């Protein structure tokens, strides 16, 4: 077994102080997102989504954030996938971002729900044809015999839709995660990291607390 106990890193790139943060977590998320994105971080919008599966186990996987605003955070998937079925059974999810270049994390707890069909249609239409067909080809999370099954199915669809519009399948679309808690983590020296948590209140204002690292 490899011993990792000597792996050490000092975090000293920034700080997170209550006097310098907005009252709304989405405003701070936007600021952080674009600061990281401007530094050429690879896939700044890559995020981990954790769900509670039908088997009772939590499961985390990386998806891509495609939109965010005051209402929440949007990503797209196959509704019949493992994550889609998990969300249908339990819409309480967690999103997390880790931007190592800036020594930052954001952890979002929220409730997921499907976006309206017209929003899913609009995003699907913006995708390259290959991505559209890929969404149709893959029965996501289902067992398949081999990769050749996918490749043959894709070839047939390419022929069938040659020169034609590719419609969005009903089983594919977006989810929006409406946040109830947003935690910002900024690495600091000596492991005394800054952790600021926003929690949504009944009056729709945000309560801000500092957490021990």
Question: Which of 97-121 are b and which e, b meaning 16 or more Cβ less than 10 Å from the residue's Cβ?
Answer: bebeebbbbbbbbbebebbeeebbe
Q: Is 191 a catalytic residue?
A: yes
CA dihedral 114, 141, 165, 75 (to 10 degrees): 40
CB neighbour list of residue 95: distance below 8 Å, 6 or more residues apart: 47, 48, 49, 50, 65, 73, 106, 107, 108, 110, 177
Residue 188 phi/psi, 5-degree rounding, is -135, 165
Cα(175)–Cα(158) distance, integer angstroms: 27
Among candidate residues 8, 147, 168, 191, the one labeled active-site is 191
Q: Tell me the catalytic residues.
A: 191
């Amino acid at each position: 077994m490899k011993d990792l106990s000597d792996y050490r890193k000092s975090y000293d790139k920034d700080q997170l102080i209550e006097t310098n943060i907005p009252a709304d977590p989405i405003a701070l998320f936007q600021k952080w997102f674009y600061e990281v994105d401007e530094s050429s971080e690879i896939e700044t919008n890559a995020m981990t989504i954790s769900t509670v599966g039908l088997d009772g186990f939590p499961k985390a996987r990386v998806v891509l954030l495609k939109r965010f605003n005051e209402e929440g955070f949007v990503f797209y998937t196959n509704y019949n996938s493992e994550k889609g079925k998990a969300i249908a059974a339990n819409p309480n999810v967690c999103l997390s971002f880790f931007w190592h270049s800036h020594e930052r994390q954001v952890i979002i707890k929220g409730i997921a729900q499907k976006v309206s069909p017209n929003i899913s249609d609009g995003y699907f239409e913006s995708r390259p044809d290959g991505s559209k067909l890929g969404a149709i080809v893959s029965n996501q999370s289902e067992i398949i015999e081999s990769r050749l099954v996918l490749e043959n199915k894709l070839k047939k669809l390419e022929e069938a839709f040659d020169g034609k519009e590719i419609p969005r399948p009903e089983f594919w679309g977006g989810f929006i995660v409406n946040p109830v808690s947003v935690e910002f983590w900024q690495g600091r020296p000596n492991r005394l990291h800054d952790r600021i948590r926003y929690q949504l209140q009944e009056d729709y204002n945000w309560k801000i607390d500092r957490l021990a690292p």
